[in-house]
Amino acid sequence: MAAAAAALCCVAACALALYLYRVLWAAPERARAALRGQGIGGPRPSFPYGNRAEMRRLMMQSPAAAPPGGGGIVHDYRPAVFPHYERWRSQYGPVFTYSIGNMVFLHATRADVVRDLTLCVSPLDLGKSAYMKATHRPLFGDGILKSSGDAWAHQRRLIAPEFFPDKVRGMVGLMVSSATALVASWEGRMTTTTRGQELELRIDDDLRAYSADVISRTCFGSSYGKGKEIFAMIRELQKAVSKPDLLAEMTGLGCLPTTRAAWTLNGQVRHLILGVVRDSDDGGGSLLSAMLRSAAEAAAGDAAAAEDFVVDNCKNIYFAGYETTAVTAAWCMMLLALHPEWQRQVSDEARQACGDAAAPDAAALHKMKKLTMVIQETLRLYPAGSVVSRQALRDVTLGGVRVPAGVNIYVPVSTLHLDPELWGADARDFDPERFAPARARPLPPHAYLPFGAGARTCLGQAFATAELKVLLALVLSRFDLRLSPSYRHSPALRLIVEPQHGVRLLLKRRGP
């Protein structure tokens, strides 16, 4: 009897070892061999962590932050933030492969590969990376950001109309309310703390509050106060799922103790969102009500499916739109503080476009061409989405490279945006003129991807642009911005590339 039990244990252990070997090594090794067979190089992975150790080592050696004072600011943050990509790209060229655990990556900046990825519109060929899906599931659920195939196509069809330009034009008034409150709070602080003199501010948290306020007002309509509470909890959820958890990543198990706290938080967020949607008396005008209506129609009476849709996508839209916009606004103000000549031009333009009105409307926003150029140049130098990532759902060919199903394709946006061959010798300099409507040199195709690529480009692009323009127009028509001597330029990766020590500015009231 004991011998039989021992034999059974032995067989089970062998089966487990075989399963682990196949999942953790043999399957990824087949994909790596297929890529190597096409002449694609890359660092040699080791079992079971792949190239994680080398990645860590190179990160530890990355250059330190610039000293305070804003002197010697270099916009190219790649050596500090992505030293491993820099090293491997110089060793293996613009297309190479590396691994993390059992996940194989194809890193590509070659124009033909990027072009084909951009042009691929079939949801059955390319999807979002399943990478980190287990750990991130409480935050994203089955929402639009991480879903693939038909599930994604269905969600995109339902949500996209809510972000069409005519809908966004109707949201400008809400954005102005949020921006006016921010400007008033800065004016108030200036009056009380410096008696109208120059005020030193770390702007990051205020910009986050602005962004959360705008999404809360548009998502939750009249219940936006409750919405802000929900977003505070989603932010906690985001922190909980951002903690590295290699075990969960590799096994795909979402029920480990490390992910349990996130699931508890997720339950509370769900309860609150559904409560607000049920009690909402906004006449169906908010984004969430509209989403619930179309989801309910599509789910043909399946109320639970419609609720899941709304809860998951509420969290997705919050994540997609909150920090991306706030961080872009912070980089933009930093760049304008460094470039007073552009600041003056944008400020004059904003005042002219608004005319006698104290704040812009949709028509005034449309007139602000210089401001658009400044935002475009900010997103070139500091793209919030630092990589465009896809997973091959079946074997695909991109730029002549046969990519086996399961491989993750990473296009590092900052490398495309700073390539001197595409953008000229001054690619690392701030020059919004390169986006002028009547520019001498046309924009290089498939080389500017701040809002992603192809069928999955950012749904909130028009929304984010309007939100940024409203804020910057109001701030720049009221204040003169200078970089504080205590500002330390140190971009850091925290899901998106943000100023590690915040952006510190000196604000002065602008004269007439």
Interacting residues with ligand HEM (CB under 6 A): 144-145, 156, 215, 317, 320-321, 324-325, 328, 384-385, 388, 450-453, 456-460, 463-464
Classify 123 in phi/psi space as left (phi over 0), alpha (psi -120 to 50) or beta. Answer: alpha
Nearer to ligand HEM, 87 or 228 (CB): 228
Give me the sign of the Cα torsion angle 11, 17, 20, 25: negative
Peptide bond into 161 cis (omega under 30): no
Give me the sign of the Cα torsion angle 316, 143, 128, 460: negative
- Are 248 and 254 spatial neighbours (Cβ–Cβ below 8 Å)? yes
Q: Which of 422, 388, 473 is nearest to 176 (CA)?
A: 473
Q: How far is the CB of 346 from ligand HEM (least distance, A)?
A: 17
Rg over CA atoms, the chain: 24
Nearer to ligand HEM, 145 or 336 (CB): 145
Nearer to ligand HEM, 359 or 388 (CB): 388
Cα–Cα distances (Å) from 104 to 35, 166, 192, 251, in that order, read: 10, 42, 56, 15
Neighbours of 32 (CB within 10 A): 22
Helix, strand, or coil (residue 497): strand
Nearer to ligand HEM, 126 or 250 (CB): 126
387-421 residues labelled b (16+ CB within 10 A) or e (exposed): bbbbbbbeebebeebebbebbbbbbbbbbbbbbee
Tokens standing for residue 451: 């809002």
Eight-state DSSP code of residue 500: T
Q: How far is the CB of 476 from ligand HEM (least distance, A)?
A: 18
Nearer to ligand HEM, 150 or 348 (CB): 150
Nearer to ligand HEM, 453 or 483 (CB): 453
Q: How far is the CB of 22 from ligand HEM (least distance, A)?
A: 30
Total residue count of the chain as it appears in this document: 512
Nearer to ligand HEM, 83 or 452 (CB): 452
- Are 268 and 233 spatial neighbours (Cβ–Cβ below 8 Å)? yes
Q: What is the 3-state secondary structure (H, E, C) of 42-108?
A: CCCCECCCECHHHHHHHHHCCCCCCCCCCCCCCCCCHHHHCHHHHHHHHHHCCEEEEEECCEEEEEE
Q: How far is the CB of 53 from ligand HEM (least distance, A)?
A: 28
Q: How far is the CB of 407 from ligand HEM (least distance, A)?
A: 16
Q: Which of 62, 63, 81, 68 is nearest to 488 (CA)?
A: 68
Q: How far is the CB of 205 from ligand HEM (least distance, A)?
A: 18
Q: How far is the CB of 152 from ligand HEM (least distance, A)?
A: 6
Residues 496, 492: Cα–Cα separation, whole Å: 8
The structure tokens 């921010």 sit at: 182
Nearer to ligand HEM, 24 or 449 (CB): 449
Q: What is the 3-state secondary structure (H, E, C) of 438-461?
A: CCCCCCCCCCCCCCCCHHHCCCCH
Nearer to ligand HEM, 337 or 466 (CB): 466
Q: How far is the CB of 466 from ligand HEM (least distance, A)?
A: 9
Q: How far is the CB of 455 from ligand HEM (least distance, A)?
A: 7
Q: How far is the CB of 19 from ligand HEM (least distance, A)?
A: 32
- Are 422 and 399 spatial neighbours (Cβ–Cβ below 8 Å)? no
Nearer to ligand HEM, 85 or 140 (CB): 140
Nearer to ligand HEM, 53 or 119 (CB): 119
| AA identity, residue 419 | D
Q: How far is the CB of 208 from ligand HEM (least distance, A)?
A: 13
Nearer to ligand HEM, 101 or 452 (CB): 452
Q: How far is the CB of 132 from ligand HEM (least distance, A)?
A: 15
Element (H, E) at 445: none
Q: Which of 254, 290, 371, 384 is nearest to 330 (CA)?
A: 384
Query: What phi and psi, each to the nearest 5 degrees, are found at residue 97?
Result: -125, 145
